[in-house]
Amino acid sequence: MKTAIEYLLKPEDGRNEPIKDLNNATRVVLVDNDTVGAEDITFAHCRFEAKTALHKKHIHQDAEEVIYILSGKGMSGIGDTEAEMCQGDTMFVPRGAVHWFYNPFDEPVEMIFCYTRPSIKLAGYKIVE
């Protein structure tokens, strides 16, 4: 069994996985099957720079998702509604729900998210626009 130190992940230990069609954002996957052998979860950090393009409407047909805002604010939509998310806000995205995110504001927004599958691919990520 690994020690606590072997399970401790630093930001630089993550895998940079850019968000398709979104040039002004970063996504770093820290925990998934490829990084640590996770069997049931993906955990990542995202940063959307000020006034970024839209992270297009998409679904995760095989996974639920939780998004938590660390700093800044952005606009998040689910279904046919949209809301401003600020530091400390959490959004639950049910399996298969259409959702999106963008940052129209003058400051970056940072968030963490997790899927209930061990990779983005296994979550069933699919653009729906």
Domain boundaries in the chain?
Answer: 14-127
pTM (global) more than 0.85: yes
Domain 14-127, classified CATH 1.50.40.10, yes or no: no
Closest CA to 31 of 8, 56, 1, 2: 8
* Identity of the amino acid at 103: N
Q: How far apart are CA 33 and CA 117, in angstroms?
A: 9
Closest CA to 106 of 24, 50, 25, 52: 50
Asked whether the beta carbons of 33 and 93 are under 8 A apart, the reply is no
Asked whether the beta carbons of 67 and 91 are under 8 A apart, the reply is yes
Question: Tens-digit pLDDT profile for the chain (129 aa)?
Answer: 677 777 889 999 999 988 877 778 999 999 999 999 999 999 999 999 999 888 899 999 999 999 999 999 999 999 999 999 999 999 999 999 999 999 999 999 999 999 999 998 899 999 897
Asked whether the beta carbons of 33 and 60 are under 8 A apart, the reply is no
Q: How far apart are CA 47 and CA 72, in angstroms?
A: 10
